[in-house]
């Protein structure tokens, strides 16, 4: 399965914002705070005035890299968002948020989306009682995500259970710490998502 395997701090420097790709480590050991220039030999060059296309591209890359999705799959998500009723920009964010790897991250079972993706790939989770190891699986309201019984005996999930009480989860999700399970209460609205994106620019990028 294709995925980005390079240094993730480089991505934050390129986008000029914290993307929190390393989870809690981004709060204490952030390369962007020490080196705010863009990566590469031209990173310290004088900044040029950005064109409209350049701004749209950067915003699209910010969203895509935050969720850890490569271009081909991101285009598929955008195509799905465009076919749904309502605003394409809000539909896109809802699809990204309802991905299984993102839900595992939001529920606190992982410190980053990359870690959540790995946990899902290794088959540690079930959705509505069925083992699901596809990170791009799109959940629906009332779907229940639970750590599988055989995985609950692993030291990782035993430790994670102790930390879940300290994690804050979005209001559109519910969490049962004792059962190591979570439920999608409703599809999140844009107001529920505190994201530093201008998703409308992503729509403009693909519709140019």
CATH number reported for the structural domain that contains residue 32 in this entry: 1.10.1050.10
Q: What is the DSSP letter of 183?
A: E
Say what the pLDDT of residue 1 is: 46
> pTM score > 0.85 for this model?
no
Cβ neighbors of 38 (< 8 A, separation 6 or more) are 13, 14, 16
Residues 126 and 199 in one domain: no
Residues 86 and 143 in one domain: no
**Element (H or E) spanning 41, and its range?**
none
What's the mean pLDDT when you consider all of the chain?
84
Give which of 159, 149, 144 is closest to 124, Cα–Cα.
149
Say what the pLDDT of residue 94 is: 95
User: Which neighbouring-strand residues pair with 147?
Assistant: 125
What's the farthest any 2 CA atoms get from each other in the chain?
56
CA 96 to chain centre: 7
Asked if residue 167 belongs to a domain, the reply is: yes
Tally the domains of the chain.
Answer: 2
**Ordered per-residue pLDDT tens for the chain, 208 residues:** 456 566 665 555 555 666 655 555 545 555 555 555 665 544 555 556 778 888 899 889 889 988 989 999 999 999 999 999 999 999 999 999 999 999 999 999 999 899 999 999 999 999 999 999 999 999 999 999 999 999 999 999 999 988 898 888 999 999 999 999 999 999 999 889 888 888 999 999 998 8
CATH number reported for the structural domain that contains residue 134 in this entry: 3.10.290.10
Predicted confidence (pLDDT) per residue in 131-169, tens digit: 999 999 999 999 999 999 999 999 999 999 888 988 889
Neighbours of 146 (CB within 10 A): 19
Residues 167 and 141 in one domain: yes
Asked whether 180 and 163 are in contact (CB, 8 A), the reply is no
What is the Cα–Cα distance from 52 to 64, expressed in whole angstroms?
19
Instruction: Write down the residue that tokens 């009682």 correspond to.
Output: 129
Determine if residue 20 is left, alpha or beta; phi over 0 gives left, psi from -120 to 50 gives alpha, anything else beta: left
Q: How many helices (H) and strands (E) does the chain have?
A: 10, 5
Say what the pLDDT of residue 2 is: 56
């Amino acid at each position: 399965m294709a995925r980005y395997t390079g240094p993730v701090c480089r991505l934050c420097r390129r986008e000029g914002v914290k993307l929190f790709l390393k989870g809690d480590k981004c709060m204490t050991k952030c390369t962007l705070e020490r080196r705010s220039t863009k990566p590469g030999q031209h990173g310290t060059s004088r900044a040029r005035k950005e064109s409209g296309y350049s701004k749209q591209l950067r915003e699209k890359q910010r969203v895509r890299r935050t969720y850890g999705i490569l271009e081909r799959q991101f285009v598929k998500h955008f195509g799905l968002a465009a076919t749904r009723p309502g605003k394409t920009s809000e539909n896109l964010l809802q699809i990204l948020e309802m991905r299984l790897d993102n839900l595992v991250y939001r529920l606190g079972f992982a410190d980053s989306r990359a870690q959540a993706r790995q946990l899902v790939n290794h088959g540690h989770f079930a959705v509505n009682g069925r083992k699901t190891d596809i990170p791009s699986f799109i959940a629906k309201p009332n779907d229940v995500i639970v750590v599988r019984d055989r995985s609950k005996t692993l030291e990782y999930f035993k430790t994670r259970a102790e930390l879940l009480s300290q994690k804050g989860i979005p209001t559109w999700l519910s969490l049962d710490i004792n059962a190591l399970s979570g439920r999608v209460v409703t599809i999140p609205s844009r107001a529920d998502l505190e994201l530093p994106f201008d998703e409308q620019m992503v729509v403009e990028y693909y519709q140019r």
